[in-house]
Each structure stands twice: as structure tokens, then as C-alpha cells.
Structure 1
Amino acid sequence: MSQIPVVTRFAPSPTGYLHVGGARTALFNWLFARGRGGRFLLRIEDTDRARSTPEATEAILKGLTWLGLDWDGEPVSQFARKDRHAEVARQMLANGSAYKCFSTTDEIAAWREQHPRQPFVSPWRDATDLPDAPFAIRLKAPRTGETVIDDQVQGEVRVANDQLDDMVLLRSDGTPTYMLAVVVDDHDMGVTHVIRGDDHLTNTARQIQIYDAMGWDRPVFAHIPLIHGEDGKKLSKRHGAVGLHEFAALGYPPAAMRNYLARLGWSHGDDELFDDAQACEWFDLSGIGRAPARLDFKKLEHVSGHHLGTMSDDAVMAALQDYVAETGGAPLTGVQRDRIMGAMGALKDKAKTLPALLDQARFAVVERPLQIDEKATKSLDAVSRGMLKSLTAAVQNASWTRDDLEGAAKRVADENGVGLGKIAGPLRAALAGTSATPSVFDMMTALGRDETLARLQDQTDLAG
């Protein structure tokens, strides 16, 4: 007997930016599908027309693309399927699992006021003498027994049916409710596994009743805990970045975000650092914990530094250019890219984020004459400029390998009776205009002979 192919989905509402919690939900669905040769679908739940915007939809698509999550087929608009949702409501009416409710909004409000904390029971549930008036279609939910959710993360969850009301499926104006639309869409799209936040768990018992009423197979449910801040409280703006776009702007490479988010609430033994292939192979619903995960920026920086260090130079350069473009910086010129690539080994081994790497690469992007910052200026006195003049002469005919350049600098330091560190400070200032740089010899090799000598000459000219 052949196994049904896995189909997962991510179904965000386009009412704002893509939250990091939503991004993790999308990642879990993507990993589960990709690791099993299945399909990962995208549905935009845009039925709330007052709050849904094309800009938010675009931001969601852009965020998923930045994170590196590819989806199968075209994104589905839930609103565009409203006729199909209404059709199913009418089918349920025809098969007796739903009924017409003529209660007005005021009547329902009055009933709830008299029966606080009780599920609404419509007087029209079993009525046979029906008026010719506008009506809503309600689910004729079972009033006895329990609805059982066999959840892959939360375990067996039981809900007494007498605690659930007969929810509206189709409003009196003919528009379907969210609860109906979700079930119809998941069924029609062939979704086999619904992996979503545990804030949806209370909806699931109601949605299961629709599956059962239509005689449809239930998908496998897995409700994952929400993400909290480091203080253990629900993640919000007070904790810092919460939108995926904010993490992109902070300069974490997508590969690092995938690794970190995968590990946020899921584990595979003690493995902390892994690539996409390993994540797809290892990811399973049994590895998801029940407790809320906590966002830890120090751990994220550690993961980010690891991935920057293991990425190819070309991949880091591509990520760096994307980061510069996203943050509104001037595009890197060909010369600047070449200089950065020349020192990439030293740059990516120390940086934790892309802006930190770019800061280290300042020497490669600044142009002559360099603006020397205040701290670096202190290392450029008459004595140090004199040593730079001697160094300029010493390296004029060097082979321009790192070893030869370091040897020439050491000879000049010896001649002046100082350690190599005494010449490194002014050399940093002359080459980069700052005191926080990669190795001076890495900078010299990346800048090349002509640019290095020109920068040194600019400072030795001031020695008089």
C-alpha cells in the first residue's frame, strides 16, 4: 500500500509584517515536507478585507524568500475561494449537519447576557417551521460526548461537546467564516499535516467537527508552543526585534536564521549547529517540545558567527550585497568587492553578523583621502609617521605576499627598537582610518601594492 505524500502549508493573514513566530511555523512546515519529499504550500488568509493589504502580502512573500523557504505552486488566496466555502456550507445544510439560524445579532447578544460563559444554543437548531427571512448557516454540532484531538505535540486533548456552540459557517450576508474556510481549503489543497501555533488549539476541536460532518479525513495536527522573550513572557516589541524583516536588517544571514529558528522549540539530541540538509533529514514532530521557546540573541549571534565562518566567500559576498541593498546603502563597486574578497578569510572568521563584517571591511570601501577617526589619530604622531615612511621604502619592492610584508614590518620595528605592535597601530590608521580592523597584513594584501603605498604616502607626507 503506497503512503500518501506529505503536504504541509503555511497560512498567514496579510495584516502586517511576518512575525518571527510565523517564520518559524513556516520553517517547521517546510522542513517536514522537504525532508519527506512532500509539498509545502502557501495560502494567504485574506478574508478579513478591512485589515488585509497587498503590501502585507508582499512583505510575507519577501520575508519567506529572504529566509530561503520555497513553496510549491502559486500562493492561494483564501478570499478568492469564498464561493467554494459557501458551496460546502450548503452541502452541510443539505446533509443535515448544518441548519438555518434566523436569530438576530441583538437576540444572540441578549441570550449571552442572560447565560454568561455558556455556549450559544440556537432556538432554530431543530425548528421545522422556517420563516422567509435572512439566515446564517450554523454547524449542527454534537451536544454529547467529546471531540478528541490526537495532537503530535500536545498529546491527546479532549473537549466536551457541550462546551462548544453551533458555530456559524456562512453569515447571513453570504460570506463564509474563517473556521469554515480553513477546513475547506486544507481539504481541497490535500494538506496532510497541519503544523501551527498552539494558540490555534482551541479552534481545532471545532474544525474537526466540520471534517467529520463532511466525512473528510482529518489531517495530522501538531500545535507548537509560542515564542517568548528572554524574560519568559510572550514575545512583543519590548523584547526588541520581532518581525523577520528586523532580523534581516540586523544582518543575520538567512542560513543562520534557518538554523536558529529550527532549534527554537525543536531539538535533535544535543545538535546546535547544522545545515539545511541535516535539518531536513532530522526534523520530526516528536522533537518539538511543549514548553514555550525563548528567544536568545546571544545564541543567535553564536549561530550567525558559525554560519558566516563556514559559508563560501562568494555566498558571504552575496549576502553582504543583499544586506547593503536592504538597508539602503550604496552598492559596492567592483573594486570594493575585490578588496573585501581579498580579505574575506580574515573577515568572516571573526564577524558574528553582516554589519559587523562590513565594519571590519571599512578599509576596503573607504576612498582616499581617508578620514581618520579620533582614536586612530592618536597613534599617528611624528615618530609613528616616520616609521611608516621607513616601511613604505621597505615594501616598495616586496613580493606582496603576507609573509614578505610581515617580515618587512618586523625589520622596520627592529630598526626602531620597538615591537611589531608599535608599528601596527599607525599602520591600521593609515590603511583604514580606524583602530578596529583585520590584520594589517591582510589589509595590505587585499588593497594591493598601489593602493597600500598611496595610503601610506598620504600619511608620510604629513611627517614633513
Structure 2
Amino acid sequence: MAVFSRLPTAIMIRTRFAPSPTGFLHIGGARTALFSWAYARHHSGAFILRVEDTDLARSTPDAVRAILDGMLWLGLTYDEGPFYQTQRMDRYRAVIQEMLAAGTAYHCYMAPEELDRLREEQRSQGVKPRYNGLWRPEPGKILPTPPAAVLPVVRFKNPRDGMVAWDDLVKGRIEIANGELDDLVIARADGTPTYNFCVVVDDRDMGITHVIRGDDHVNNTPRQINILRALGAPVPLYAHLSMILGDDGQKLSKRHGAVSVMQYDDEGYLPEAVLNYLARLGWSHGDDEIFSMQQFCEWFDLDHITPSAAQFNTEKLNWLNAHYLKRTDIARLTALVRPRLEARGLSVAGTPSLEAIIGLYRDRAANLNELADAAGIFYAHPEVPTRLLEKHLTPEALPLLADFIAGLAEVAWEAPAIGALIKESVARHGMKMPKLAMPIRVLLTGQEQTPSVDALVALFPREEVLERLGKADDPRPSGIDPS
């Protein structure tokens, strides 16, 4: 029994990410790409992107673009590729001919309906459905005469005895009896090669040393190892990552994370926050929670990947994203928020500057969309809910507000001076600060929660503040939501 667990240390590490373009790049695929990328970077190796697009019925150019866009947004740069399997068909067919000549593959003329009947009989007998080896060449065996009306498939001549085993770098030792594996179809009747065969040829030709992928591929691994052995090719080391569960402990679905990576961009997440979060889904470095991708690549190994399922936690991702927002350069945040405002039809030219708004609000925001929401208030009059007007523009607050408005005409337009004016106004009327601060917030922003009210007022042009606060005298001012 052959066991594959170690490669010569002199071999350059080569990993690959090989998505099928039948959908978007989701969180599970992104984590696989991240771990493969980081392992190659840790060992100064090469990271290859391969697009496994042989499923012509389901693969689409839009899905390919979604995968490439997701990789670009995350910053997971590849050293080689992207390689497309549909562009390598001649190579696959050549290898199949080599295997037919070597006797490690053979033509099978069993018609699909005949195979269906065989499997149905096996199920009725309580036997595992499998091909019965009718057309498999064996010493001394006389094969049936090939039927003229049936185009043959090509099957791999899988070993019948012994075990195929490997030391999985995440799950530990795995052994599968060859008797459990039937002869895999490696080329369909129309000549197109099948998935498991293409993967083997690609991994051999591209010199892949480590295959890091989801554990839904564990059942493919023994078949792929046997084909590699038949080709006399080196067998890579395998690391199968456990699945990611949703917040509720159930299999990840669209309602809690199995969505396009680019949707996280749409929802206002920073790519470095998503990467940092993905890095901790099933891997750890002590108690470290926040780290750069450079640090991650320096630390990353396969020994500290847990074999148990990881659980997605939206609150944790939001916390990380807020952390990165606070530490991201304001110029970059401005460049990210500006198109979000423009998409809403808002012009950000003039006063106040978007940079100043973001500087005031970024410590209070969890994502870029929240920053855009805050900034939008400065470039379009907000709808002020009637309930907030009734709550805060009380008869005792109106004289206080009028006093403050009168002082605004002459005050120096900076936060300290405006703050002093607020304090003087409340002191003259014997009121507490919220009696004035809350009406100002509500009339300027339509909200009860804002940054420091003096800094808020100072961001607006003086004329804009006077206009918005002046609505307090109008019982039904325009722009006020009566709901």
C-alpha cells in the first residue's frame, strides 16, 4: 500500500485555486483561495489560478468574470494563469491515448440504458451501484464484440486490490479500499474528458505540490491519486478544509454568507477586513485576531487548521470591518465612498468636503455604506420624521433654539466657538445641554445620534445651518416626513 505524505524539501511549493465558473466566488471558495495563496507566499512558492470550465452547460463568461473580479478585489494575486481547461482539450485527449496504449485505460461500450438497468438491479439487491467491469480487459478474458451502434466511453483501469491512502494535512490519515472504487469514466462518448481526469492532468502538468481544497473533494482524492500513479506522476500533498457553517450552525447558505464575495463590496466591507476574517475561519495563531496579510503569510501553516467545521459570525466580521475603517487612510475612504454617493445621484462638490465628513464619522460607522449614509445628509436635505420634531422641538426648546440661531450670524465658524455658543445659550435659559443639542441634531440630520454637535454644525456652511434650523418656525416645513 502506497502512502503519500512528504515531498523532497528542495521542491518549490506550488499551490492552485481551481474554481468552476458555474456561479460566483463565495466565502468558502475565497477562504480556499486565501489559504492556498498564503501557503505559497509563506514558502516563497507559486500560486496558480486555474478555471475548471469543462462543464460547458453551466459555465458562463459572467461567472468567470465574477471569479476574477472577486480575486482582484481581495488582492489574491496569482503568479500563473488563469489557465482554462477548455483551452487544454488537445492535451487531455493526448494523455487519454497514452493511457489506452499503456493499458491503464480502456474503451467501454456499455450503453447508458444498459448501465442504468445494471445499477437498478444492484440497488434492488441491496448492493452498492457500480460498473461491473464488463469491458475491462484482463489476462485470458474474452471481451464481447463491440456493438456498432454504441460510441464507447473511456474508463480508467482502477486497481482492484489493496488500499489507496494519504496523510491529509488537515484531516490526518485517510485510507480507501480500491475495491470500493469502480473504473472511472475519464472520457465521455463524445470524446470530452471528465472532471477528475482533467484535474489530474492539470496538477501533473502544472507541478502542483499541495492541493488545498474543500472537504467535499475527499471522495475524489483516491481516484485522482490512482490516476496519477498510473501516469507515473508525483502525487501532491492534500489538505482538505472543513466546511463553513452559518451563524445558526447550519450549512452556509445565501441567507448567511454563501453569497458572492463582491456582495461584501456592495455592502460596504473593506477587502482587508474580509481577508482577516476569513483567515480566522478554521485557522489560528494563538489568540491573535487582527493582523495584516503580510503577517498572516509569515505565520500561516497547515498544522493549525482545525479539522472541525468553522462557523461564520456576522457580528465578528462587522467588528473587524469597523476596526479597519477607523485605521484606513481618509483619502482612500473618500475614494471608496464617493462613487456610492454618486450612485445615489448626489454631487459631493463644494462644502463641506467629503474628507471632512468622513473624518468626523468614520469612528461611528461599521461599513462604507454607513459612511455614505452619513455623508449624504450633508449633500441633500434629510426627511425629518414628525415624531422626532414632536419629541424634541418642544415649547420650552423653541426659545432656546431661536437664541442659538441668532448667535450663529456672528460666531466664528469653527467647532470650539460654536460649542461655546451652545453652552452660553443653555446657560442663559437655565436648560441642560440636550434641550438644545437634540433639536439641532434632528433639524440638521433627521437623526438623534450624531457626532459632537459643535463639530457637526461646523461642517455645514453657515447658510445651510441657518436654513435647516430655520425650519423650526414652520409647522409643516418642506422635506419633513409626516410619518
TM over 0.5: yes
Higher mean C-alpha deviation, range 235-244 or range 171-180: 235-244
Preserved CA contact (<8 Å) 1:241 1:247: no
Which structure 2 residues correspond to residues 408-423 of structure 1 after superposition, within 5 A? Answer: 408-423=421-436
Are positions 1:98 and 2:105 aligned together?
Answer: yes
Match of 1:343 among 354, 357, 362: 357
Are positions 1:47 and 2:54 aligned together?
Answer: yes
Are positions 1:360 and 2:377 aligned together?
Answer: no
Are positions 1:5 and 2:19 aligned together?
Answer: no
RMSD: 2.6
Q: 1:196: how far off?
A: 0.7
Preserved CA contact (<8 Å) 1:391 1:412: yes
Preserved CA contact (<8 Å) 2:358 2:371: no
One-letter identity of the residue aligned with 1:17: F
Match of 1:122 in 2: 133
Separation (CA, whole Å) in 2 of partners of 1:68 and 1:170: 36
Separation (CA, whole Å) in 2 of partners of 1:433 and 1:113: 68
Q: What secondary structure, in the 3-state scheme, does the structure 1 residue paired with 2:211 have?
A: strand
Preserved CA contact (<8 Å) 2:28 2:258: no
Separation (CA, whole Å) in 1 of partners of 2:377 and 2:401: 17
Are positions 1:436 and 2:443 aligned together?
Answer: no
Higher mean C-alpha deviation, range 314-323 or range 97-106: 314-323
One-letter identity of the residue aligned with 1:347: Y
One-letter identity of the residue aligned with 1:256: A
The structure with the largest helix share of the pair is 1
Match of 2:212 among 190, 195, 214: 195
Q: Does the C-alpha gap of structure 1 residues 323 and 190 become closer, same or farther in structure 2, counting only changes over 3 Å?
A: farther
Match of 2:344 in 1: 329
One-letter identity of the residue aligned with 1:438: P
Are positions 1:391 and 2:404 aligned together?
Answer: yes
Match of 2:480 in 1: none
Q: Does the C-alpha gap of structure 1 residues 218 and 240 become closer, same or farther in structure 2, counting only changes over 3 Å?
A: closer
Preserved CA contact (<8 Å) 2:24 2:259: no
1:36-80: CA deviation from partner (whole Å, max 9, x where unpaired): 333322222111111111122222222222333223344222122
Which structure 2 residues correspond to residues 206-285 of structure 1 after superposition, within 5 A? Answer: 206-239=223-256, 242-285=259-302
Match of 1:287 in 2: 304
Q: 1:418: how far off?
A: 0.9
Match of 1:176 in 2: 193
One-letter identity of the residue aligned with 1:48: D
Q: 1:296: how far off?
A: 1.2
Separation (CA, whole Å) in 1 of partners of 2:454 and 2:207: 59
Separation (CA, whole Å) in 2 of partners of 1:322 and 1:363: 16
> So what's the TM-score if we normalise by structure 1?
0.90
Match of 1:401 among 406, 411, 414: 414
Preserved CA contact (<8 Å) 1:152 1:220: yes
Separation (CA, whole Å) in 2 of partners of 1:151 and 1:357: 45
Match of 1:424 in 2: 437
One-letter identity of the residue aligned with 1:123: L
Q: What secondary structure, in the 3-state scheme, does the structure 2 residue paired with 1:194 have?
A: strand
Q: Does the C-alpha gap of structure 1 residues 374 and 362 become closer, same or farther in structure 2, counting only changes over 3 Å?
A: farther
Q: Does the C-alpha gap of structure 1 residues 40 and 452 become closer, same or farther in structure 2, counting only changes over 3 Å?
A: farther
Preserved CA contact (<8 Å) 1:180 1:207: yes
Preserved CA contact (<8 Å) 1:101 1:137: yes
Q: Does the C-alpha gap of structure 1 residues 250 and 212 become closer, same or farther in structure 2, counting only changes over 3 Å?
A: same
Unaligned runs of 5+ in 1: none
Match of 1:377 in 2: 389
Q: What secondary structure, in the 3-state scheme, does the structure 1 residue paired with 2:88 have?
A: helix
Separation (CA, whole Å) in 1 of partners of 2:293 and 2:409: 48
Higher mean C-alpha deviation, range 247-256 or range 226-235: 247-256
Q: What secondary structure, in the 3-state scheme, does the structure 2 residue paired with 1:335 have?
A: coil
1:214-254: CA deviation from partner (whole Å, max 9, x where unpaired): 11111221100011123322112354663324433332222
Q: What secondary structure, in the 3-state scheme, does the structure 1 residue paired with 2:353 have?
A: helix
1:95-148: CA deviation from partner (whole Å, max 9, x where unpaired): 222222222223322332333305423122225667565322211111111111
Higher mean C-alpha deviation, range 42-51 or range 235-244: 235-244
Q: What secondary structure, in the 3-state scheme, does the structure 2 residue paired with 1:285 have?
A: coil
Higher mean C-alpha deviation, range 356-365 or range 159-168: 356-365
Separation (CA, whole Å) in 2 of partners of 1:425 and 1:203: 63
Preserved CA contact (<8 Å) 1:98 1:137: yes
Q: Does the C-alpha gap of structure 1 residues 70 and 460 become closer, same or farther in structure 2, counting only changes over 3 Å?
A: farther
Match of 2:222 in 1: 205
Q: 1:345: how far off?
A: 3.3
Preserved CA contact (<8 Å) 1:11 1:45: yes
Q: 1:366: how far off?
A: 1.8
Q: Does the C-alpha gap of structure 1 residues 216 and 405 become closer, same or farther in structure 2, counting only changes over 3 Å?
A: same
Preserved CA contact (<8 Å) 2:340 2:372: no
Separation (CA, whole Å) in 1 of partners of 2:144 and 2:82: 41
Percent sequence identity over matched residues? Answer: 41
Q: 1:90: how far off?
A: 1.2
Q: 1:450: how far off?
A: 4.4
Preserved CA contact (<8 Å) 2:170 2:239: yes
> So what's the TM-score if we normalise by structure 2?
0.87
Match of 1:82 in 2: 89
Q: 1:454: how far off?
A: 4.2
Q: 1:350: how far off?
A: 1.8
One-letter identity of the residue aligned with 2:430: G
Q: What secondary structure, in the 3-state scheme, does the structure 1 residue paired with 2:67 have?
A: helix
Q: What secondary structure, in the 3-state scheme, does the structure 1 residue paired with 2:15 have?
A: strand
Q: 1:411: how far off?
A: 0.9
One-letter identity of the residue aligned with 1:122: G
Q: Does the C-alpha gap of structure 1 residues 448 and 71 become closer, same or farther in structure 2, counting only changes over 3 Å?
A: farther
Q: Does the C-alpha gap of structure 1 residues 231 and 314 become closer, same or farther in structure 2, counting only changes over 3 Å?
A: same
Separation (CA, whole Å) in 2 of partners of 1:26 and 1:324: 32
Match of 2:4 in 1: none
Separation (CA, whole Å) in 2 of partners of 1:313 and 1:342: 9
Q: Does the C-alpha gap of structure 1 residues 417 and 100 become closer, same or farther in structure 2, counting only changes over 3 Å?
A: same
Match of 1:139 in 2: 156
Separation (CA, whole Å) in 2 of partners of 1:59 and 1:360: 30
Q: What secondary structure, in the 3-state scheme, does the structure 2 residue paired with 1:142 have?
A: coil
